[in-house]
Amino acid sequence: MADDQRSMRDRMLAGDPYIADDPQLAADSTRAQSLTHRYNTMDPTDGAARRALLEELLDAFGPGSEIRPPFHCDYGYRTTVGSRTFANFGLVCLDVARVTIGDDVQLGPRVQLLTATHPVEPGPRRDKWESAEPIVIGDNVWLGGGVIVCPGVTIGANTVVGAGSVVTRDLPADVVAVGSPARVVRSLG
């Protein structure tokens, strides 16, 4: 892994293993922490300033969307939020890989979108190597409170995931899924 001459940021952006405490990545993370701190402590009645800050932080933030504070992310620039999407209190978005959230999505309180992964082997893990896999949340998805979405998962359009579920693998469109790990319990209309 160490023979690659690309920067750790370039490795991360390409989806290859990287070391997270690299100075460039640390600066990017500090920027995101600063912006999310400002967002989380802003006057909730100043909608225009809150929106402008999310537009600065995120790769894209669609019209009519809202994220209630507190909100936490690793980098921000790896996350896209579609139009008319609502995220309730406490969204955690570990956006080391790309996180794509569609239009008309509803995220309950304390949802976690976790793209980061770590080696199972002790040597590379001790050496601080990490990687990540993207998450895609389709249009009109509803994730109940406390749902955890694991690295590499795609959730199809119109799907509902019950509160407290842990989504470890892709879910198709138009289903209800619950549990840990989440499993499909019924199809929708």
70-118 pLDDT, tens digit per residue, is: 999 999 999 999 999 999 999 999 999 999 999 999 999 999 999 999 9
Asked if pLDDT for residue 1 goes beyond 60, the answer is no
Q: Does residue 176 fall inside a structural domain?
A: yes
Q: Give the pLDDT band of residue 3 (cuts 50, 70, 90).
A: low
- Whether 2 is covered by a domain: the verdict is no
Give the number of domains in the chain: 1
Residue 77 sits in a domain whose CATH number is 2.160.10.10
Average pLDDT, the chain: 95
- Residue 121 located in a structural domain: yes
Mean pLDDT of 13-35: 93
Domain that holds residue 169: 8-187
Reported confidence tier of residue 5, pLDDT bands at 50, 70, 90: confident
Does this model's pTM top 0.85? Answer: yes
Residue 3 lies in a domain: no
pLDDT (0 to 100) of residue 92 = 98
Q: In the predicted model, what is the mean pLDDT of residues 162-170?
A: 98
Over pLDDT 70: what percentage of the chain?
98
Report the pLDDT value the prediction gives residue 183, as an integer from 0 to 100. 98
Question: What sign results for the dihedral spanned by CA atoms 59, 33, 95, 169?
Answer: negative
In 106-169, DSSP assigns E strands to 106-107, 112-114, 116-117, 129-132, 135-137, 142-143, 148-149, 154-155, 160-161, 166-167
Residue 133, pLDDT score: 97
Q: What is the pLDDT of residue 40?
A: 98
The pLDDT of residue 53 is 97
Asked if residue 18 is part of any domain, the answer here is yes
User: Is 157 a member of any domain?
Assistant: yes
For residues 59-69, give the mean pLDDT.
98
pLDDT at 42 over 90: yes
- Active-site positions? 118
Domain-embedded: residue 1:
no
